[in-house]
Amino acid sequence: MKNIAVLTSGGDAPGMNAAIRAVVRYALNLDMKVYGVERGYTGLVEGNFKELKARSVSNILQRGGTILKSARCPEFVKKTVQLAAIEKLKEHNIDGLIVIGGDGSFMGAKALSGHGFPAIGIPGTIDNDIAYTDYTLGFDTACNTVLEAINKLRDTMESHDRVVIVEVMGRHCGDIALHAGLGGGAEIILVPEMPLNMNSVFKKLKQNKEKGKLSGIVVLAEGVGCADEFAKEIEAKTKMSVRSTVLGHMQRGGSPSSRDRYLGTSMGIHAVRLLSQGKSSRIVGIKNERIFDVDIVQGLSIKKKFNKDLYKMAAIMST
């Protein structure tokens, strides 16, 4: 394998640039040429390729986002579009592709592999919602971003005896809410994996009020509901002063943590090794602190399990 390409797809995540940098420099070390595909699968179909040299990825390790940019490409589910993308790759004499993204992006890599074109996936999504791997690129940084916001919000909430509902990303996976909520000492954490019981929320806040605790943090995963609506309902039921804050896309940005830089670098190197060994249809991950890879079909078939023990621990710590 002499020429490979790399693209980022779906939502951006801190650590993607670390992975791109690792792919480029490790591949060059193996005497391969590397091409960056701009704007994900859309750029792949349109043939937006550029050769990447060692200096092309200088000074990007600490940057959030992705220098290759990203875009969603719903039409990539069509076989005709997939085959057209392969033709673009062949026109540029590219022998293999590395895809950095979430499960939707992996479906594209799976399709290309199914058509006989070597493709390897690296998990890049802040939601940490891919089950085969313990952690995905961007998750740690996103949790630290939320934690910083919680710390600042607690200062002002305590100053005014208020409760704040902090809405974080996570439509189907509550890992950001759980991990950041635990780290920030949130009084209540609401995630889509656990049944919602508003009476329990009201009861706990009232009990805190009776004990003299007039402020608090409620971390709400977006998949559970809207922070503004929760704030109004809680204020009406508890007679406490309640505010809402939606962190939104700021959770995706920012300089990646040391953890995400390590993961991006390690996973990028592993992905290049797989292609250099002639392997395809694999996705890279980390399990028990070991970088590994698994068949893409097998990996995507694994169902995400919510850490109920950690959730219970967080509830105990908030008493």
Catalytic residues: 127
Q: Across-strand partners of 121?
A: 99, 283
**Residues 63, 33: contact at Cβ < 8 Å?**
no
Buried b (16+ CB within 10 A) or exposed e, 246-267: bbeeebbbbebbebbbbbbbbb
Residues 138 and 14: their CA atoms lie apart, in Å, by 4
Question: Who's near 116: CB < 8 A, 6+ residues apart?
Answer: none
Number of neighbours of residue 290 by Cβ within 10 angstroms: 9
CA distance 50 to 268: 18
